[in-house]
Structure formats: C-alpha cells, structure tokens
Amino acid sequence: MPDTARAARPGALHPDRALPADPVTRPVARRILEATRDLPIVSMHGHVDAGVLARDEPFGDPASLLVVPDHYLVRMLVSQGVPHEALGLARRDGGPVEQDPRAIWRTFAAHWHLFRGTPTRFWLDHVLVEVLGVTQRLSAETADAAYDTIAARLVEPGFRPLSLLDRFGIEVLATTDPATADLADHAALADRGWGERVVPTFRPDAVLHVDRPGWAADVARLGELAGVDIGSYQGFVRALELRRQAFVAAGARATDHGHVRADTTPMTLHEASAVFDAALRGDVDAAAARAFSAHMLFEMARMSTQDGLVMQLHPGALRDHDPGIAARYGHDVGYDVPVVTEYVHALRPLLTAFGHHPGMRLVLFTLDEDTFTRELAPLAGVYPAVRLGAPWWFLDTPDGMRRFREAVTDTAGFANTTGFVDDTRAFLSIPARHDLARRVDAGFLARLVVEHRLDLDEALETAVDLAYRIPRDAYARRAEVLP
C-alpha cells in the first residue's frame, strides 16, 4: 500500500482526485476527464456580486474573502461550538464581534479537521493550492503562514476579479439580481466590453412573496423602475413584464425563483387582484400569500413563453430555521434547512399549460434527493420544457453528484439535464466546483464504459456535452434558439 501520509503530502492536488478507485475504471475516467480539461467554464447560475466585477478592485483580506461570507464554513464551525462572533459575523445589534481578520483566520484554520470528508474541504484544497499557492495543510500551526501567502497573493494585479475571469477560463458568468436591480453594474461592464461574458439573472422573489417585510417598498421601487403605476395587480404584472424586458436587454438569459413549495396553481384575475390589493393594505394572511406566490410562478412561466427567459425553480429550503439567529446575525448564515418537496402535483398546472410550449424551458432544482427517481427524472423525461438542474447546495458533493447521475440518467438521460451550475458566491471556488463536477461525471461515464453499457466514444462526447455544450444550450434564451 502506498503511504500517502502527511509527510508525503506534495502540496499539489492529486491528478486523480475524486475519480473512482478501482484500477479498471480509473484509467477510463482519467481519459474521459482529459476530454474536458481545456473546455471553458459556462457558469449560468451563480451568486457573484456584479458590483465586484464592475468595480474590479482587489479582494480584501483572507478572512473576509474566504471565511466570513461562506455559510458552509460558518455553519460547520458553529456546529462544533465556535461562536458566530469569533468568525466576525456582524451583529445586527452592533454588539462586539471579532474584527481582526487574522484572528478569524486562525480560528478557522485550527478547525480544519472538521471539514474532513466534506466538499468544502475539496473546494478549499483547490482554492488554496491551485489559486492561492498555499501548499501546507491548514492547522493552528500553519495558519499565519497561509494567511500571509494569501494576503500577498490578493494584492497582485492578476488577482483582480476580471483578470480571474480570464484566468479561470470563464466564458460566461450569470449573476443573480433582484427584480428591483437597476443593472448599473451590468451596464458598466457592458460599456467596457464585458456584456457578453457577465449577464444578469432576473430574481423576483422579493416582490412575489407578499407577506415579506419590506414587500410594499420593493413593489414601489419596482413600479418606479418600470415606470408603471403598481396600484393595481395589472400594473404589478405589467411592471414585472417590463423589468424582464430590461433584463433581457441587459443580456439576461434566465429567471430564478426560490419558493418553499413548487406549487404553481394559478388564480383567476379576480382572486389575484384581491390578494394584491389586500397586500398593499398590509392585510394579507400566510395562506393567501402562499397561494399568490404559487400563482405568480405560473405567471412567470407565462411570461417566459413570451420573452424566452429560461425559468429556474429552487424549491424546498426552509429559511432561517432559528429565527433568533436571523434576528441577531441576519439571513444566509447557515440556518436554511431542506424540507420535503413535492413536484408532481405542484407543477401540474404549469406543465399542463406550458410543458409543450416551444418558448418554455423550466430548470428544476431540488434539495430532496428522494425526488430524483420518483418525480424529477420522470417529469424531465417526458415534458419538452423541463430540464433537471445540477445537484444543488447540500447535494453539490462528490457522492451527491454521483447519486444524481445514477438516479436520473435511467429515465431522463443526459440531454434532459443542464450540466453543472456552480451556484456559488465564492468567486475563487468556481474552477474547483466545475472541476469536481467534471470529475464526478467522468467517473460515472467511465463506469458505464467498463460495464459495457456505453461505448468510449459516446462517453467522451457526452463528457463534453455535460461540461460545455449542454449548459450553454440549456440556458440559451428560447427566443434565440427558436424561429
């Protein structure tokens, strides 16, 4: 047995990482992976801030770049007793939190062992070694040296955000933007010739959930931007249509929708108007708000058949499981937890209406892998409008992505999936995430080859499809691909 112990760690990523172990499958996987190595990255769903790219300023310190904003990291450290304050998470009450980035980094590094076996570890190893040149394993002892290495790297000119887009080989990057975004950052990027490579995504959640605190203000802002009186439901719908057109003009290819349920049951105009009017009066209950948001998903689909924006649906996350944490530290700090998600009945209204419409494309994501074989693959395997998004969030892992392929390929094949989307706000980890996805797909395809379920030439072609052609085509605005 080769000794791969600590002393032998070469400070470089192993070329066979995340490929299947058995000696028959691995060389086939390696060959398939090779076919995708030089392909550009198509990153059609992510959460990188467009402003970061538009300003193109150097990143901050190692902690505020890599630790504080990464909810994967924060939640693991918190789960083992590290206080949020020690990680520098700002408190809403202004209470004291750790301000020294080096101290935050040391806390993180001292708990590196917690990430053993996790995708966070896999991604960070890639970021540290390949992107930042840190070759020692993180620990309390190596924390300072790693910090210094990273800090020095971050001020190099080649580490500005737009330079990294080139270095990472990112052909196109989609950001996620609220319906009330003024798109100024995208305009600035377009002015400088980056308009084709950095595109916005229309995310109207904030204005579709009418019982959200701040909803009325967001809707007012929506009306302003659209130049429409949103005093009525019809005005609201019109404003949404106009904002979608503005996003299309700014290069958007898709919309994105985060709802707890996938329900798409439409209301009558009368019903929808009544809820909208009640919401404007601040007099709407949770059930009506839920029904309205389901109705608006149906409306978003209807609009997609007109403007060709690809519709992405991300249901099934219960946000802020502990409301006290949200009150103290805000949202997106690791307390969102998946719940059972139903698609078959929920999507029936939308799919019956638009499932065969040539202008419709619906990309479905899930946090509930129980639905892979039971619901999602059967739906994607028959409705022309449906594609399956990549395994998402808690499922975006070596084993999660493998299970996804093993589960959905039988019924949906490869062509009814979208290929990989990285869904990350951690800019430096984009290459790591695409690299891992390509490795997992190479391993899956290799198994099909060595089990004589697929010929090698087909596997090689499919690997390129999954890494490049399919995501590029899946997110082509429908108006572009149809006459």
Closer Cβ to its own copies, 235 or 338, answer by number? 338
Which range of residues in 279-287, 307-315, 396-404, 427-435 is near its own copies by CB under 8 A?
A: 396-404
Range list of β-strands (E), 159-233: 170-174, 177-178, 198-199, 202-203
Closer Cβ to its own copies, 6 or 270, answer by number? 6
Closer Cβ to its own copies, 182 or 370, answer by number? 370
Compute the distance between CA of residue 190 and CA of residue 169 in angstroms, rounded to an integer.
Answer: 19
Report in angstroms how near the CB of residue 14 gets to its own copies at its nearest. 4
Structure tokens at 327: 């009150």
For residue 215, give the nearest of 162, 148, 142, 289 by alpha carbon.
289
Ranges within 288-327 binding its own copies (CB under 8 A): 318, 321-324
Report in angstroms how near the CB of residue 125 gets to its own copies at its nearest. 9
| Of the candidate residues 115, 292, 298, 427, the single one contacting its own copies (CB under 8 A) | 115
For residue 159, give the nearest of 69, 56, 62 by alpha carbon.
56
Report in angstroms how near the CB of residue 317 gets to its own copies at its nearest. 9
Ranges within 131-170 binding its own copies (CB under 8 A): 137
For residue 170, the Cα-to-chain-centroid distance in whole angstroms is 15
Report in angstroms how near the CB of residue 228 gets to its own copies at its nearest. 34
| Of the candidate residues 35, 289, 407, 428, the single one contacting its own copies (CB under 8 A) | 407
| Of the candidate residues 206, 239, 364, 386, the single one contacting its own copies (CB under 8 A) | 386
- Contact, 119 vs 149, CB < 8 A? no
CB atoms within 10 A of CB 95: 9
Compute the distance between CA of residue 230 and CA of residue 217 in angstroms, rounded to an integer.
Answer: 11
Residue 344 engages its own copies in binding (rule: CB under 8 A): yes
| Of the candidate residues 69, 271, 400, 476, the single one contacting its own copies (CB under 8 A) | 400
Report in angstroms how near the CB of residue 117 gets to its own copies at its nearest. 4
Give the interface size with its own copies as a residue count (CB under 8 A).
104
Report how many helices (DSSP H) and strands (DSSP E) the chain contains, helices first: 23, 11
Closer Cβ to its own copies, 160 or 477, answer by number? 477
Compute the distance between CA of residue 142 and CA of residue 161 in angstroms, rounded to an integer.
Answer: 27
- Contact, 440 vs 401, CB < 8 A? yes
Query: Backbone phi, then psi, for 182, in 5-degree steps?
Result: -85, -5
Compute the distance between CA of residue 470 and CA of residue 415 in angstroms, rounded to an integer.
Answer: 7
Query: How would you list the strands of the sheet with 202-203, edge to edge?
Result: 177-178, 202-203, 254-259, 310-315, 362-364, 386-388
Range list of β-strands (E), 236-307: 254-259
Residue 414 engages its own copies in binding (rule: CB under 8 A): yes
Ranges within 211-230 binding its own copies (CB under 8 A): none
| Of the candidate residues 138, 210, 412, 470, the single one contacting its own copies (CB under 8 A) | 412
Closer Cβ to its own copies, 206 or 297, answer by number? 297
Residue 69 engages its own copies in binding (rule: CB under 8 A): no
| Of the candidate residues 132, 165, 272, 377, the single one contacting its own copies (CB under 8 A) | 377
- Binding track over 79-108 against its own copies, x by CB under 8 A: xxx---------------------------
- Contact, 312 vs 363, CB < 8 A? yes
Ranges within 29-58 binding its own copies (CB under 8 A): 31
Ranges within 448-477 binding its own copies (CB under 8 A): 448-458, 461-462
